[in-house]
Chain A
Amino acid sequence: MNNGIDTSPRWSRAARGAALPLVLLVTWQVWALSLPTGSPAPAPLRVLKAAVELITTGGLLDALAQSLGRVLIGFAAALVLGIVLGVLMGSSRAVRDNLDPIVESFRPIAPMAILPIAILWFGTGTPSALAIVTYAAFFPVLVNTVHGVTRVDRKLVLAAQTMGVSRLSILIRVVLPGALPSIVLGSRLAMGVAWTAIIAAELAVGAKSGGGGSGGIGQMMFVFYAYSIDLNAIVVCMIMVGVVALLIDRLFRWLEPRLIPWKQ
Chain B
Amino acid sequence: MKTQVVLPNAHIGFGPLRRMLRQRWFLALRAFTLFAAFWWVFFVWNDNPLQLPSPVRVVAALGSLIATGELFEHALISTTRLLTALGIAIALAVPLGFWMGLSRTAEAFIDPLIELLRPISGIAWLPLALFIFGVGNTLPVFIMVYVGFFPILMNTMAGVRQIDPKLIAAAATMGVGRRALLLHVLVPAALPTVMVGIRLAFAASWAAIVAAELIGAPSGLGFAIEWYRQLLMTPKVYAFILIIGVVGYLCDLGLRALQHVMTPWSEGTGLQ
Contact = CB atoms under 8 A, between A and B. Distances in A.
Contact of A88 (B1, B27, B162, B244): B1
B112 interface: yes
Contact of A196 (B32, B121, B165): B121
A: contact size bracket: 35 or more
A101 B111 CA distance: 40
Interface of B is mostly: helix
A1 B2 CA distance: 52
A235 B132 CA distance: 13
B35 interface: yes
B252 interface: yes
B110 interface: yes
B40 to A, nearest CB: 15
Interface in B195-237: 203, 206-211, 214-215, 221-222, 225-226, 228-230, 234, 237
B226 A1 contact: no
A17 B130 CA distance: 31
B106 to A, nearest CB: 10
B244 A108 contact: yes
Interface in A51-92: 88, 91-92
A120 B228 CA distance: 11
B51 A120 contact: yes
Nearest to B165: A1
Interface in A1-27: 1-3, 6, 13, 16-21, 24
Nearest to A171: B3
A110 B124 contact: no
Interface string A130-170: 00000000000000000000000000000000000001000
B174 interface: no
A119 interface: yes
A114 interface: yes
A246 B117 CA distance: 10
Interface of A: 1-3, 6, 13, 16-21, 24, 40, 88, 91-95, 97-102, 104-106, 108-117, 119-121, 167, 195-196, 199-200, 203-204, 207-208, 218, 221-222, 224-225, 229, 231, 234-235, 237-239, 241-243, 245-246, 249
Interface of B: 1-4, 6, 27-28, 30-32, 34-35, 50-51, 101-105, 107-113, 116-117, 119-128, 130-131, 160-163, 165, 203, 206-211, 214-215, 221-222, 225-226, 228-230, 234, 237-238, 241, 244-245, 247-249, 252
